[in-house]
């Protein structure tokens, strides 16, 4: 089996990627099992050094990685460069972890009690097509740092940067088979990560629907899982906020990566008294968004990843009250102009569904309690933003919104040094931040008597 890639910005057919079979997946997992033993025999300092060499290999390859993401995924070049540099940063950050897996010394009677953080063995990582290389690194860097081997299955549509990262790991001198990238279908390769007993943990990022299946499958072997799933995040704008700044920045909180972002603030909740002002300013900022050729340095938003995904996004316009739209090129490529709709109520599909495209819906609210209730009226809980000049309100609302990653008067959400993950059906477990390597270990407790 194989898959022929299509450039999302031009519609041109590109290279064909061979897919691995179930047998080849098993073979790779066995190689990973052997490699992990070798990796575990390295001293912590040697593992750290190997990860730093991997980081340098990525650093020297930023332009190549970025160009691959532009071609394969349609990401604007400036964004793709940021992503490649982010992978380097993630590797650098976790390269310090092997020497900092400290364990604990627990005071007990009659001797000493110590804990060890043992690696799990082989970890399987399954990634989506929206941020292929960054999301992969959130799994493989801390997993490797904790002493594991990794098999990575990228999404069928967007494998190129992951394949390249696999090559860079080899060139950096990681043990043979320690980090392998297996291109293939989720139902074949991804599913084998679930059923093969040598894989002790699966890190899955993707849709909530597929994630539920992964969790069900993992139950058979009590296999560990981390799930990073969908979102329908709220950007809450109170009347006491810097409304102009909120409106100027809102497009970047939802239209980045053409809305194909699990953290997209795709519901804007605006306090009624400032709705008109906010909409006027939002129209200005949306019209300024530079949508077009992703190879252009000035481009802020590229095409959607695939024609079939574009068709799915377009369906939402059939039953939506469109307020205004930005611009997009016409002609070949999966173009979709950034679109702002007015909410038809909390059951409007634009208010409930993760569209994963450049559509944002504005919903007016009365007061703080109303805003919190609407923000939480979703099964998702991944990110969100709160705009207010009242510091107390910022604290109250950020504590009340059921979401894993919030920001006040800003739209930041992913930093490699802070934890990231979802509440409710947006996921299970956390990635990134100082504790991520621990999530790839088993805590072992040992008591040694003093007599
Ligand atoms: P998806 O359809 O769930 O696919 C994600 C990955 O799972 C792909 O590699 C896919 O493989 C694989 N897969 C599909 N069926 C599988 C199965 N039965 N067993 C094992 N693996 C399987 O998601 P997507 O359409 O690529 O991505 C969009 C979704 O990802 C959105 O819902 C978004 O919110 C979510 N997302 C979440 C985060 C987060 O951090 N929370 C980040 C990014 C994206 P193939 O497609 O190659 O066959
Ligand atoms: Mg899918």
**Dist CA 346 CA 129 (whole Å):** 29
Burial of 374 (0-12, 13-18, 19+ CB in 10 A): buried
pLDDT of residue 193: 98
Residues 202/214, Cβ–Cβ less than 8 Å: yes
Please report the DSSP string for 71-116 in residue order: HHH---HHHHHHHHHHHHHHHHHHTTSGGG----EE--TTEEEEEE
| Residues 159 and 57 occupy one common structural domain | yes
Tokens 């969908």, located at residue: 230
Q: What is the pLDDT of residue 311?
A: 98
Please enumerate in sequence order all residues whose Cβ is within 8 A of that of 216, keeping only pairs 6 or more positions apart, or say none: none
Whether 174 and 54 have beta carbons less than 8 Å apart is answered as: yes
CA of 355 to the centre of ligand 2 (A): 12
Q: Is the CB of 380 under 6 A from ligand 1?
A: no
Regarding whether 142 and 37 lie in a shared domain, the answer is: yes
We report the CATH number of the domain holding residue 278 as 3.40.309.10
- In short, whether 156's Cβ falls inside 6 Å of ligand 1 is yes
Residue 276 to residue 273: CA distance in whole angstroms: 8
pLDDT at residue 331 in the model: 87
Residues 300 and 363 in one domain: yes
Structure token pair of residue 304: 């959607």
Q: Is 357 in the pocket of ligand 1 (CB under 6 A)?
A: no
68 lines ligand 1 (CB under 6 A): no
Expressed in angstroms, the distance from the first to the final Cα of the chain is 63
Q: Is the CB of 410 under 6 A from ligand 1?
A: no
The ligand minimizing its distance to the Cα of 207 is 1
229 C-alpha to ligand 1 centroid (Å): 8
pLDDT along the chain (451 residues), means of 10: 97 98 98 98 98 98 98 98 98 98 97 98 98 98 98 98 98 98 98 98 97 98 98 98 98 98 98 98 98 98 98 98 98 97 98 98 98 98 98 98 98 93 98 98 98 95
Residues 55 and 131 in one domain: yes
Same domain, 193 and 246: no
Token readout for 293 is: 């050729």
**CATH number, position 14:** 3.40.605.10
Same domain, yes or no, for 238 and 334? yes
154 in the same domain as 58: yes
- Residue 85 CA to residue 425 CA, distance in Å, equals 30
The residues, ordered by sequence, that sit 6+ positions from 60 with a Cβ below 8 Å of its Cβ are none
Mutate to test the pocket of ligand 1, among 19, 193, 210, 305 (most ligand atoms within 8 A of CB): 210
**CB-based burial label for 400 (10 Å; 0-12, 13-18, 19+):** middle
**In this structure, which residue's CA is closest to atom 37 in ligand 1?**
229
Output phi, psi for 32, to 5 deg: -65, -40
CB atoms within 10 A of CB 344: 15
421 C-beta closer than 6 A to ligand 1: no
Cα-to-centroid distance, 434 and ligand 1 (Å): 25
Distances (CA, A) of 363 to 148, 154, 245, 345, 397: 46, 36, 18, 8, 17
Distance from the CA of 449 to the center of ligand 1, in angstroms?
49
State both tokens at 355: 């569209």
Q: 181 CB under 6 A from ligand 1?
A: no
Q: Which ligand is nearest to the CA of 155?
A: 1
Distance, in Å, from the CA atom of 280 to the CA atom of 268, rounded to the nearest integer, reads: 14
Strand partners, 406: 384
CA of 206 relative to ligand 1 center, distance in Å: 3
Is 103 close to ligand 1, i.e. is its CB under 6 Å away? no
Residue (of 179, 82, 95) closest to 133 by Cα position: 82
* Same domain flag for 150 and 293: no
- Ligand 1: which residue has its CA nearest to atom 12? 186
CA 25, 155, 403 angle in degrees (round to 5)? 120
pLDDT for residue 412: 83
- Residue 285: both structure tokens together: 């900022």
211 with 257, same domain: the answer is no
What's the CA-to-centroid distance between 209 and ligand 1, angstroms?
A: 9
Whether 198 and 259 share a structural domain: no
Query: Is 441 found in the same domain as 408?
Result: no
391 and 245 within one domain: yes
Please list the active-site residues: 228, 262
Looking at the CA of residue 209, tell me the nearest atom of ligand 1.
3
For the chain, how many structural domains are there in total?
2
E-only strand ranges, 197-288 = 199-205, 224-228, 234-237, 267-271
* Secondary structure class of 254 (helix, strand, coil): helix
Closest Cα to atom 31, ligand 1: which residue?
207
Give the structural domain span for 412. 234-416
Q: Is 293 in the pocket of ligand 1 (CB under 6 A)?
A: no
DSSP assignment string, 330-377: -SSS-----EEEE---TTSHHHHS---SSEEEEEEESSHHHHHHHHTS
Nearest ligand to residue 158 Cα: 1
* Cβ contact 132:69 at 8 Å: yes
Tokens of 305: 């990843």
Would you say 338 and 250 are in contact if contact means Cβ atoms under 8 Å apart?
A: no
Measured in Å, residue 207 CA sits from the centre of ligand 2 at: 7
pTM, 2 dp: 0.98
């Amino acid at each position: 089996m194989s898959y022929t890639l299509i450039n999302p910005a031009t519609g041109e057919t590109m290279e064909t990627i061979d897919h691995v079979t179930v047998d080849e997946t098993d073979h790779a997992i066995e190689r990973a099992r052997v490699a992990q033993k070798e990796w575990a025999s390295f001293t912590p300092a040697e593992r750290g050094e190997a990860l730093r060499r991997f980081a340098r290999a990525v650093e020297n390859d930023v332009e190549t990685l970025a160009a691959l993401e532009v071609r394969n995924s349609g990401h604007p070049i400036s964004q793709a460069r940021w992503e490649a540099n982010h992978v380097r940063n993630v590797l650098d950050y976790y390269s310090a972890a092997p020497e900092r897996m400290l364990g604990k010394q627990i005071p007990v009677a009659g001797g000493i009690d110590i804990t060890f953080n043992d690696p799990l063995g082989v970890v399987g990582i399954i990634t989506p097509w929206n941020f292929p290389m960054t999301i992969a690194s959130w799994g493989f860097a801390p997993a490797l740092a904790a002493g594991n081997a990794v098999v990575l299955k990228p999404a069928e549509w967007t494998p190129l940067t992951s394949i390249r990262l696999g090559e860079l790991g080899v060139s950096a001198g990681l043990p043979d088979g320690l980090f392998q990238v297996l291109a293939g279908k989720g139902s074949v390769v991804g599913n084998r990560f679930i059923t093969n007993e040598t894989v002790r943990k699966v890190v899955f990022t993707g849709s909530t629907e597929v994630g539920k299946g992964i969790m069900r499958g993992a139950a058979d072997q009590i296999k560990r899982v981390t799930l990073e799933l969908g979102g329908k995040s709220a950007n809450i704008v109170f009347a006491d906020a810097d409304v102009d700044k909120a409106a100027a920045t809102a497009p970047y909180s939802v239209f980045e990566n053409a809305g194909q972002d699990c953290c997209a603030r795709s519901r804007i909740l605006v306090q009624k008294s400032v709705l008109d002002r906010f909409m006027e300013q939002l129209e200005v900022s949306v019209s300024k968004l530079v949508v077009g050729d992703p190879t252009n340095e000035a481009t802020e938003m590229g095409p959607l990843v695939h024609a079939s995904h574009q068709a799915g996004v377009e369906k939402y316009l059939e039953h939506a009250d469109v307020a205004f739209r930005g611009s997009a090129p016409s002609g070949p490529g999966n173009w979709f102009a950034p679109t702002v709709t007015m909410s038809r109520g909390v059951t409007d599909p634009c208010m409930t569904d993760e569209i994963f495209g450049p559509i944002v819906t504005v919903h007016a609210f009365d007061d703080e309690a109303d805003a919190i209730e609407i923000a939480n009226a979703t099964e998702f809980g991944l990110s969100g933003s709160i705009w207010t000049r009242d510091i107390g309100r910022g604290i109250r609302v950020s504590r009340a919104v059921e979401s894993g990653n919030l920001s006040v008067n800003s739209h930041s959400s992913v930093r490699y040094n802070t934890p990231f993950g979802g509440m409710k059906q947006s996921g299970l477990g956390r990635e990134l931040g100082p504790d991520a390597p621990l999530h790839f270990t088993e805590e072992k407790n040992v008591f040694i008597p003093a007599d």
